[in-house]
Amino acid sequence: MKVLLINGSPNAKGCTYTALSEVEKTLRENGIETEMLHVGHLAIHGCIGCRKCKEIGRCVFDDIVNEAAKKFEEADGIVIGSPVYYAGVNGALTTFLDRLYYSTSFDKRMKVGAAVCSARRAGTTATLDALNKFFLIAEMPIASSQYWNMVHGNTPEEVLQDAEGLQTMRVLGRNMAFLIRAILSEKARSGLPEKEPRVSTNFIR
pLDDT tens digits, 103-121 = 999 999 999 999 999 999 9
pLDDT tens digits, 161-198 = 999 999 999 999 999 999 999 999 999 999 999 999 98
In SS3 terms, 13-67 reads as: CCHHHHHHHHHHHHHHHCCCEEEEEECCCCCCCCCCCCCCHHHHCCCCCCCHHHH
Whether the predicted model's global pTM rises above the 0.85 cut: yes
Superfamily of segment(s) 2-190: Flavodoxin domain (3.40.50.360)
